[in-house]
Structure 1
Amino acid sequence: MRRTRSRVVTAIAATLAVGLITSGCASERDDDGGGEGGDTFVFGAPGDPGSLDPALASDGETFRVTRQAFEALIEHEPGGSELVGGLAESWESNEAGTEWTFNLREGVTFHDGEKLTAEAVCANYDYWFNWTGTYQNKAISYYWQTVFGGFAKNESKDTAEPNYKGCAAQDELTAVISVNEASANLPGGFSLQALAIHSPKAIAEYKKESATGEGDALTYPKYSQEAGTVAGTGPFKIAEWDKGNQEVTLERFDDYWGEEKAGVEKLVFRTISEENARRQALEAGNIDGYDLVAPSDVEGLKDKGFQVPVRGVFNIFYLGMSQGANEALEKKEVRQAITHAIDRDNLVNTQLPEGGVVATQFMPDTVDGFSEGVATYDFSTDKAKDLLADAGESKLSVDFCYPTEVTRPYMPAPADMFELMKADLEKAGITVNPKPMKWAPDYLDATENGSCALHMLGWTGDFNDGYNFIGTWFSGFDAQWGFREDAVFDAVKAAESEPDVAQRVELYKKANEAIMEYVPGVPISSSPPSIAFSDKVNPPEVSPLTQENFAEVSFK
């Protein structure tokens, strides 16, 4: 769940009025029935999904929905980040980390009646590997390219060489996936929702359509935009996507392989983009839960009897610096000055929920590879002024972009956080030019292409490996930063290609130390986001990865 990887989603306007959400599902539920008594659970989501095919997505709101219908070879333990069996009961790799063997579960059925086999697994991986045309646009195939590089036939010189080598069905329930080189993205990458397994019958239908367009003007295939074709193995199947009412409806899959079937008959994700509207809808009884509770609302909801569990810390919020947008940022002294100028303690104490901490590097201390030996930059306006003077930039002026119409797990109040940082920078003598932008596509596009000198973003980890954090930004030149420093890239690459986990963790520590020596951006905070539920429901176990399994929900 990455700056919560939302680049491919086009956000719906955030000004949804409370009146539009107060009608609806309260009358559809049997609140006294509970369990499997024909009830409907309604969840208020901060944004719309972008696709019903998770392979085409990179954002948390899509995955929140599709995770209920699709399962990957490996999953995460409930409430934690430990890898456990998913569609594969067990897995192992060769010593070199280039051959991964998956022992699949027996008796697993897809929503369309197809059976899970090793050939079905290989059909998925080979399908992704052979994508062509618009599917090779990283906005669509972000996770495939992040984990496995390029394709069977790369169509752009900018696409990485493929690391995927092939998939073979050793027998009916044993799939072997091979890569050319060991990667820190594995085995964690096999747990990604974007690499969840689809029915081979559905894949045959997918091949009849295609994504189209170039750059950011993309059109997704029709099958991914309406229910009826996609088919996974999860405890729910996708029944309807009502875009007019911003709702996705899923129904319990009674042939689910697990011992426990879904605790409710229907699951509805309703988009309510404004956090106050989500809270009011819960208080009015029109939804049964919602995500990204404002820190200031937590105690009030608890006092009214609502359940407000807190996720573990597994994210990072940062101030990005795009050197290509302002050449002054190419000077390390300027980047250090900006880092000293930000009062991160104040941001944590005033803007984040209890449990938030100041970040010292680009991963939280819950991730293996966190280093206690990084360079630190304490808040000091005077130190910032001195560094700017030394760099000849005492009259520095910067554009500072910040997002509107959005809340994220690591960034509950973007405008308020911007104002605090703006005030800090101005105290150090920096002229700040505010650039508010709608989250999607404007803000995400601007930050991705590096047109904002300063910008606010964050990341929620996909799995517990340091490369999933620092490799996202510092595995090589990235337009978002415009940062070029071989000492950093080489340190990250050395860790990424080390097959021994213990040695890799030590290399991550060295990479973190290299990153913070050059301070390409300002890691600001890590925090535990809250999620709220009605007192009438038994909620799911909350996940630090924001990977809640709503099949665990039932009514009391």
Structure 2
Amino acid sequence: MRAPGRQPDRLRALIAAGVLAVMTIGAAGCAESDRDNGADKGAGGGTFILAGAGDPKNFDPIFNDDGESFRPIRQMYDTLITHKPGTAELVGGLAESWSNDPTGKIWTFKLRQGVTFHDGTAFDAAAVCANFDRWSAMKGEAAQSQMIYYADVFGGFAGSPDAVYDNCKAPDAGTAVVTMKKYKGAFPGAFALTAFSIASPAAMKQYGADTVTQSGDSFSYSAFANEHPTGTGAFTFGGWNKATGELTLNKNPNYWGDKAKVDKMIIKVIKDENTRKQELRAGTVQAIDFPAPADRKALAAEGYEVLERPAFNILYLGINQKNNPKLKDLRVRQAIAYALNRAQLVQTKGPGGAAVADQFLPSTVLGYAPDVQKYEYSVDKAKQLLADAGATGLTLNFYYPTEVSRPYMPNPQEIFTVLANDLQAAGIKVNGVPRPWNGGFKDDVQQFGKQDLHILGWTGDYNDPGNFVGTFFGRAKPEFGDQSMTEMFSAIAKADATVDQAAKKTAWEQVNRDMATKWLPAVPIWHAPPALVTTKNVQGLVPSPLTAETFNTVSITK
């Protein structure tokens, strides 16, 4: 890999271990075809049409955390650090190189020269600092909206005792120096997060980027977020027609990197899985994401290219302890875990290569503990624990998303049905509550905590346990409802702040053991390898283990 600047030995060992581990994950990916995905064999120009599984929320990176929004954002914006295509190896993005001081608190970025935003303004160190300062200074409704990544990575906003970010300085146009208040294991990997893409300060000011309003359970975002997203990426915003579900992205002829090979890309939102498949066969779209497990072999046999990504994700059953006091009892949460026949779910509904999860991160990530308590399927144990806790006849509201497929959750309706049947077999009555992904499920679950149970998951952004366990359980969240698990929050914070590699590994392993035996805020379900399917005339699409594809490499043969 290209060395990301000079690292002091202690931190170099820490960072290199994580990057090399996830490089292995990226290299392990395979496709159910023998095509050289990186080769550009097609002619330039034309239009590439990909079927999306759900509506994007908006196009301001910092206010998003889901793949359907990040897919177009990733084409329009760049991050300081990015990933080598097809892997999770860190390489330069808008920063040609980066380095840190011995404490891991001060990060210096040497920036690319001659880069411009889509509005023609210059990308420079001042623009970098304007973005960092903007994120940190969010207040009111903007801060309360979907800024999950910022809260998880940076601890809190300016003035918060948990805030990690201190300041950003621009000693010259080509150098940005970002100072943290403390070391955090997320860096440098977190600098590659799509949420932390660099936007044009001029466009954000012109179109009121920080204007966020709340009405009931919903948030409304600015003209910048919806109509004028302005980054430095390989594609520019061409319009979002909500009536037809078509998002248009145009080639950026002034892109600083490898320019897009197609003139235009269209993301066509098709929420029904069967309809996506039909349109692929009809040739009205040239790629679909997250095909149903049963469709992979059939589509490959028909001559379509099935590009499989490695499984670097987790699906879990979340347990909200706020609304039903019975769920505060560990025995009840353990009963839920024993009631789930996860092995059968993997067999019947999981994609090829899926595996039952016994903790909230893949086995390739530092801190995975092979000796965690495993909840083998047992209806009898579940019933006994419910009886011991005085929770016989328990009724729970189980929320699940509709109109969407996620890398870790190809068919939410089917997964919900199987899990709900398991719970009911153990004596737990389930009220199913289907809600649309954006503007429904995510707000109800993650902002307002209306549910007792829900299914959700995560695709890792970088190889660090904090990106999995810390993201889910590192602080109190409406999603899980119990703000009293201070022991869990403290243990995660301590593990994340540990610089020594061996000590960090030990600390995270213990966190994962305690997660299963002492806290159990959710039940891990499976790790599942997601796939992309394309028509034969699509060349150059490189699948990412992080589901973080960029499409400037794609060309269409005639």
Q: TM-score, normalised by structure 1?
A: 0.88
Preserved contact between residue 54 and residue 405 of structure 2 (Cα < 8 Å): no
Residue 380 of structure 2: which of 382, 398, 401 is its match?
Answer: 382
- Deviation of residue 502 (structure 1)? 4.6
Do the aligned partners of 2:58 and 2:226 also contact (CA within 8 Å) in 1? yes
Partner of 2:363: 365
Shift of residue 45, structure 1, vs aligned partner: 0.4
Q: In the alignment, what sits opposite 2:77?
A: 70
Q: 2:56, 2:200 → 1: CA distance?
A: 21
1:176-325 aligned within 5 A: 176-207=177-208, 210-213=211-214, 216-226=217-227, 229-258=228-257, 260-325=258-323
CA–CA distance in structure 2, aligned partners of residues 180 and 209 of structure 1: 25
2:114 corresponding residue in structure 1:
107
CA shift in 2, pair 1:88/1:500, >3 Å = farther
Q: Are the aligned partners of 2:210 and 2:222 in contact in 1 as well (CA < 8 Å)?
A: yes
Give the match for residue 494 of structure 2.
Answer: 494
Residue 274 of structure 2 aligns to a residue whose secondary structure is: helix
Partner amino acid, structure 2, of 1:122: C
Give how far 1:254 is off: 1.9
Structure 2 distance, partners of 1:395, 1:422, is 15
Aligned twin of 1:148 = 154
Q: Which residue of 1 aligns with 2:454?
A: 455
Structure-1 separation of matches of 2:67 and 2:501:
27
1:401 counterpart SS class: strand
Q: Which residue of structure 1 lines up, in the alignment, with residue 86 of structure 2?
A: 79
SS in 1 for 2:360: coil
**Contact 2:152-2:470 within 8 A present in 1 as well:** no
CA drift at 1:462? 2.0
Partners of 2:289 and 2:273 in 1: how far apart?
Answer: 9
CA contact (8 A) 2:211 2:222 kept: yes
Rate the CA distance shift 1:393–1:375 in 2: closer, same or farther, 3 A.
Answer: same
Q: Counterparts of 2:404 and 2:125 in 1: how far apart (Å)?
A: 41
Of 285-294 and 428-437, deviating more is 428-437
Task: Say if 1:152 and 1:162, in contact at 8 Å, map to a contact too.
Answer: yes
Q: Any idea what the Cα deviations from partners look like across 1:44-95, whole Å, max 9, x if unmatched? A: 0011222222122222111100101110001122122222211112111112
Alpha-carbon offset, residue 544 of structure 1: 1.6
Distance 1:436 1:115, change over 3 A: closer
Q: Distance in 1 between matches of 2:443 and 2:237?
A: 30
Contact 1:138 1:145 in 2 (8 A): no
Could you tell me which amino acid in structure 1 is paired with residue 494 of structure 2? A
Query: What is aligned with 1:515?
Result: 515
Cα offset, 1:381, TM superposition: 1.6
Which residue does 1:14 correspond to in 2? Answer: none
Matches within 5 A, 1:300-449: 300-448=298-446, 449=448
Kindly tell me: are residues 501 and 116 of structure 1, through their superposed partners in 2, closer, same or farther at Cα, counting changes over 3 Å?
A: farther
The answer to whether residue 529 in structure 2 is matched with residue 531 in structure 1 is no
- The aligned counterpart of 1:554 is 555
Aligned to 1:3: none
The CA distance in 2 between the partners of 1:209 and 1:491, in whole Å, is 34
Report if aligned partners of 1:239, 1:251 keep a CA contact under 8 Å in 2: yes
Structure 2 unaligned spans of 5+: 1-39
- Whole-Å Cα distance in 1 between the matches of residues 375 and 94 of structure 2? 45
Q: Which residue of 2 aligns with 1:10?
A: none
In structure 2, relative to structure 1, the CA distance for the partners of 1:55 and 1:423 (3 Å cut) is: closer
Contact 2:397 2:452 (8 Å CA) reproduced: yes
1:39/1:96 Cα in 2 relative to 1: closer, same or farther (>3 Å)?
Answer: same
Taking the aligned partners of 2:278 and 2:179, their CA distance within structure 1 comes to 50
Is the Cα contact below 8 Å between 1:109 and 1:233 reproduced in 2? yes
**Cα shift at 1:191:** 0.9
Q: Determine if contact 1:132/1:153 at 8 Å carries over to the other structure.
A: no
Distance apart, 1:188 and its partner CA? 2.2
**Alpha-carbon distance in structure 2 between the residues aligned to 1:475 and 1:42:** 39
Does the 8 Å CA contact 2:208/2:223 hold for their aligned counterparts? no
Counterpart AA for 1:460: T
Residue type at the aligned position of 2:417: E
- Retained in 2: the 8 A contact 1:466–1:505? no
Distance 1:189 1:179 in 2: 13
Change beyond 3 A, Cα 1:363–1:265:
same
Aligned to 1:43: 50
Counterparts of 2:55 and 2:469 in 1: how far apart (Å)?
Answer: 28
Indicate the RMSD between aligned Cα atoms, in angstroms. 2.1
The question of 1:126 aligning with 2:126 is answered: no
* 2:382 maps to amino acid: A
How many Å separate the matches in 2 of 1:112 and 1:402? 40
SS of 2:305's equivalent in the other structure is coil
Q: Corresponding residue for 1:469?
A: 468
The one-letter amino acid of 1:279's match is: K
Asked whether the equivalents of residues 36 and 265 of structure 1 are also in contact (C-alpha less than 8 Å), the reply is no
Distance 1:52 1:70, change over 3 A: same
Q: Residues 329-349 of structure 1: CA distance to partner in whole angstroms, max 9, x if unpaired?
A: 222122112111111000101
For residues 346 and 201 of structure 1, do their structure 2 counterparts lie closer, same or farther at Cα, with a shift above 3 Å needed?
Answer: same
Contact persistence 1:35–1:264 (CA under 8 A): no
Gaps of 5+ in 1: 1-32, 155-159
Deviation at 1:153, TM superposition (A): 6.0
Kindly state the Cα deviation for residue 517 of structure 1 after the two structures are TM-superposed.
0.9
Q: Following TM superposition, by how much is the alpha carbon of 1:189 offset from its aligned partner in structure 2, in angstroms?
A: 2.0
Q: Percent identity?
A: 43
Please say which of residues 74-83 and 508-517 is displaced more in the overlay.
74-83
2:218–2:443 Cα contact (<8 Å) kept: no
Equivalent residue for 1:30? none
Q: Structure 1 residues 125-134 or 188-197, which shifts more?
A: 125-134
- Cα distance in 2 for partners of 1:180, 1:432 equals 46
- Residue type of the alignment partner of 1:170: P
TM-score (norm: length of structure 2): 0.87
Residue aligning to 1:12: none
Gap change, CA 1:49 and 1:426, over 3 Å in 2:
closer
Partners of 1:185 and 1:468 within 8 A in 2: yes
